[in-house]
């Protein structure tokens, strides 16, 4: 099984998506979007850009933990990773986004459960 996207709504009514790996771990989290259509556009951008090495920006938190941002061609951040314990773990996270980013599976968590 490959990864998938989950779209959810925040407490203030905005939309966010996460990219999950096959093991259900979150590997990329988006910014907040004001509309569902904008969130869907963000997912499309991850699907397009996740395979491109140059789109990954490696950074460190203030306390030195590595993380990465995935950027679009216009240099806007599409999504960010969690903070990792080592650079090797961060590199595995990037590899996971590359492997799972093209998925077309989207789980909509914005709909009420009946």
Tens of pLDDT along the chain (114 residues) come to: 589 999 999 989 999 999 999 999 999 999 999 999 999 999 999 999 999 999 999 999 999 999 999 999 999 999 999 999 999 999 999 999 999 999 999 999 987 766
CB atoms within 10 A of CB 113: 4
Q: What's the whole-model pTM score?
A: 0.92
* 4-9 and 106-108 beta bridge pairing: parallel
Strand partners, 9: 15
Buried b (16+ CB within 10 A) or exposed e, 34-58: eeeeebbebbebbeebbeeeebbee
Strands 66-71 and 56-60: antiparallel
CA triplet 81, 83, 84: central angle to 5 degrees?
A: 105
User: By three-state DSSP, how is residue 91 classified?
Assistant: helix
- Output the CA–CA distances (angstroms, integers) from residue 72 to 41, 42, 57, 109, in the order listed: 11, 9, 11, 25
pLDDT of residue 111: 77
């Amino acid at each position: 099984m490959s990864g998938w996207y989950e779209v959810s709504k925040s407490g203030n009514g905005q939309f966010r998506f996460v990219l999950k790996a096959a093991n259900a771990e979150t590997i990329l989290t988006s910014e907040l979007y004001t509309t569902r259509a904008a969130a869907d556009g963000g997912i499309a951008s991850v699907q397009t850009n996740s395979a491109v090495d140059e789109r990954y920006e490696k950074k460190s938190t203030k306390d030195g933990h590595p993380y990465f941002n995935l950027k679009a061609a216009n240099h806007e951040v599409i999504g960010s990773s969690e903070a990792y314990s080592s650079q090797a773990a961060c590199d595995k996270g990037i590899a996971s986004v590359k492997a799972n980013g093209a998925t077309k599976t989207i789980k909509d968590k914005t709909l009420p459960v009946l």
